Amino acid sequence: MAAPLTQSQIDIVKSTAPVLKEYGVTITTKFYENMLREVPELNNIFSTTSQMTGRQPRALANAVLAYATYVDDLDKLKHAVERIAHKHVSLQVTAEQYDIVGKYLIQAIGQVLGAAATPEIVDAWVAAYGVLAKIFIKVEGDLYKQNKADKWLGWRKFRIVRKERESDTITSFYLAPSDGALPLPRFQPGQYVSLQVDVPELGYLQSRQYSLSEGYSPESGYYRISVKKEEGTEAGIPGIISNKLHEKYNVGDEVELSHPQGEFFLDPTDASKAGVPVVLISAGVGATPLKAILDSLTGPSAVVKRPISWIHASRSRAVQPFGDAVREITKANDNVNSVVFLKNVGPEDQEGVHYQFAGTRLSLEKLDAEKDLFVNNPQAEYYICGPESFMIDVRRGLVGMGVDKNRVFLELFSTGDVPDE
């Protein structure tokens, strides 16, 4: 991933990092305003909610700053490129659209920085953007080739064949291809699909990514996603798509999906991992991708046996997803251990059955370092999903217990990436 830029261009781009740190969000906000106003069809790709909350401009500003910082050492951005490329492919981003993005990004830099955006700086950034665009186009092109091999490019219509309540806030949707073409392409547990629906009140399409929450089975004929109804308590904006799915979509209705994508996954067929512990740690709806991993390692088609620790935290059993299913899997598999933290316990909740720890958030200190966390095993792997601050805290705690950070994998449900602390 060496950057074919002149040393002068590299020096100029790196010198802009302090300016981008200060004005980056202003630049990216202007960029999105200009581009989405003048090329309105791109509203079909970008999340309106992420625009309204400012998360999308912040995420892009962080990405641009990271590129300026490591333009001479792009290997440090390899994970970020992979994550973003999978997201782009799930949204059907095309190579041609990179020219549009480049035009408006450079324009926004000039508008915000004014005279400070000298011809030398603009020329260096045009060249640097061209290099980055080629990297993404190559990575995404390879992913599209893989999807083409599965005979699935673009959006595909799926019908809701079953709708099942998992908790007070989470509902599972079982989605079968409307064209009836089976079997569905295999996916790796932990991956997601992009789901696209028309939003008449906005005047364009909107897409969201939802983890596949059940392990792959060629016989099932469906993919399952489990969607939390987002009330918008944090962002101040109710989830446009999650509320629509919960309230407006029923069995028989159609949505569109793109091919499963995502760099956060576990390969359940990797024979080299036999006997290697895997620890699945989640909070709330973060259990969805981990449930697919658990299914894949314990279901009828499981081929590699590994010690598994399922550790989950919920505010209460009323909002806890997959509680009954995980208890059944734990009882049926002697290699599975499960621990549940419930913040609020009801009169019918039984200690040792429905939960192990009550009245507290998930705490690594309360867990058995060996039985629950396998911290003394130098090969153990950790998959974490939940709110960003939760994941960062858990990762920091594991590293503090001696776990190699490279064996800790995090999945973020929103725009951007988890800070590499």
Tell me the catalytic residues.
98, 140
| Main-chain phi, psi angles of 404, to 5 degrees | -65, 125
Q: Which two tokens stand for residue 349?
A: 């909740």
Q: Measuring CA to CA, how many Å separate 421 from each of 316, 352, 389, 395?
A: 30, 35, 11, 9
Note whether 20 and 124 are within 8 A (CB).
no
d(CA 266, CA 188): 7
Please tell me the distance from the alpha carbon of residue 153 to that of residue 178, in angstroms, as a whole number: 15
Q: Shortest CA distance to 3 belongs to which of 89, 140, 121, 130?
A: 130
Q: Which residues pair with 193 in a beta bridge?
A: 210
Residue 284, classified by CB atoms within 10 Å of its CB into exposed (0-12), middle (13-18) or buried (19+), is buried
CB 408 within 8 A of CB 398: yes
Q: In what order do the strands lie in the sheet with 357-358?
A: 357-358, 336-342, 308-314, 278-283, 381-385, 408-411
Based on its alpha-carbon atoms, the radius of gyration of the chain, rounded to whole angstroms, reads: 22
CB count within 10 Å of CB 385 equals 28
Note whether 340 and 312 are within 8 A (CB). Answer: yes
Rounded to the nearest 10 degrees, how much is the dihedral formed by the CA atoms of 316, 322, 327, 328?
160
Cβ neighbors of 233 (< 8 A, separation 6 or more) are none
DSSP states along 106-171: HHHHHHHHGGGS-HHHHHHHHHHHHHHHHHHHHHHHHHHHHHHHTT--S-EEEEEEEEEE-SSSEE
What's CA 177's distance to the chain center, in Å?
23
Is-cis flag, bond preceding 183, omega within 30?
A: yes
Neighbours of 133 (CB within 10 A): 16
